[in-house]
Structure 1
Amino acid sequence: MHGLVVANTVVAATACSVWDIYGSLQVVTIINTFLPDVLGTVKVLEGDGQVGTLLNVTFPLGTPGVGYMKEKITKVNYKKRVKETQTIEGGFLALGFKRYITQYKIIENNFTSSIIRSTIKYEVDDKLSNLASIVNTKLVETLAETVGKYLTEKKAPP
């Protein structure tokens, strides 16, 4: 069984400034600084944020499952402002999923706002299709909102 869930989060920041965060490892700093109790902590195991970079996410205490996941950055397209990661160990794979991919696309909305389109693509054995109900966009939306808030407050006059 293949599945797809998508969230579009409008943020009050330019697509260029949002991509500066998502298109680099700065997104790791945002997660570790503002969202460790929600998303966990991210450690770069290898790489510089480009394709092939390996990340280890340690989930917050009380998160169901194995408590961690390893992700690999599989796509970074600066022109289209698209970044994709694939879980290679732990996380949803430990629950029985065959494939779990998260994609972020930054879309210019107007001169002062953009849309962060977060897409989760997954594959799970038909016998475990009930697991599909646990896939949602809540955490990627929280990240998008946090990035938007960070950029808005960062640019606000003192």
Structure 2
Amino acid sequence: MMFGQLSHELEVNVLASEAWEIYGTLGISKLLVEDGSAFEKIEVLEGDGGNGTILKKKFMPGSHGFTVHKEKFTKLDNEKRMKELEVIGEGYLDLGFTLFRVRFEIIEKDNDSCIIKSTIEYDVKEVAVANTSYANTDLVAKIAKVTKNYLIKNKATENAA
């Protein structure tokens, strides 16, 4: 087995609570499908966005080495503004990963800005070490950027009103 960990951080000039309103709910799924840059479809198979929620995500063609995976929310802490999910079917698991976990944290920086921190942890079978290149921060960086753009746009709209 080979273990790896990667992380990505993006600063956003909005309140941490505003960013968490998106990340801490299923609202982020809707936002990502509407954006169309990463996911073609996200289907809730079980749950309401809390612990135990299972999603089936269909990626945009050619964006990954696979088209679909299932993931489960394993931790959701509104107080710490942290959500953790694990791939439980298809996708990374078909590529030889035995664990693929993503943790999103919204970290308050000051009164009007926060950091979206995304951490990926994975285990991959020795025979599939060549597939570790699929474990990268491209997708979590894209998710953070889409969220940032949405939050900044909404903030500008509110300020103009």
**TM-score in terms of structure 1 length:** 0.94
Shift of 1:140: 0.7
- Runs ≥4 residues deviating over 4 A: none
How far did residue 64 of structure 1 move?
A: 4.4
The alpha-carbon distance between structure 1 residues 150 and 63, as it changes in their structure 2 partners (threshold 3 A), is closer
Instruction: Report the counterpart of residue 105 of structure 1 in structure 2.
Output: 105
Residues 58-81 of structure 1, C-alpha deviation per residue, up to 9 Å, x if partnerless? 111224434100000100011111
SS in 2 for 1:109: strand
Q: Which amino acid aligns with 2:28?
A: V
User: Number of residue pairs matched?
Assistant: 157
**Contact kept in structure 2, 1:40 and 1:59, CA below 8 Å:** yes
| 8 Å CA contact 1:100, 1:121 repeated in 2 | yes
Structure 2 Cα separation of the partners of residues 143 and 38 of structure 1: 8
Q: CA RMSD in A?
A: 1.3
The 1-side partners of 2:63 and 2:149 are apart by 25
The share of aligned pairs that are identical, in percent, is 36
Hey, what's the Cα distance between the residues in 2 that align with 1:64 and 1:17? 30
Please tell me the residue identity of whatever aligns with 1:23: G
Q: Is the 8 A contact 1:69 1:87 kept in 2?
A: yes
Is 1:57 the counterpart of 2:69? The answer is no
Deviations 1:74-97, CA, capped at 9 Å, x for gaps: 000111110011000111111111
State the Cα deviation string for residues 24-63 of structure 1 (Å, max 9, x = none). Answer: 11111111111x2323321111110000101000111224
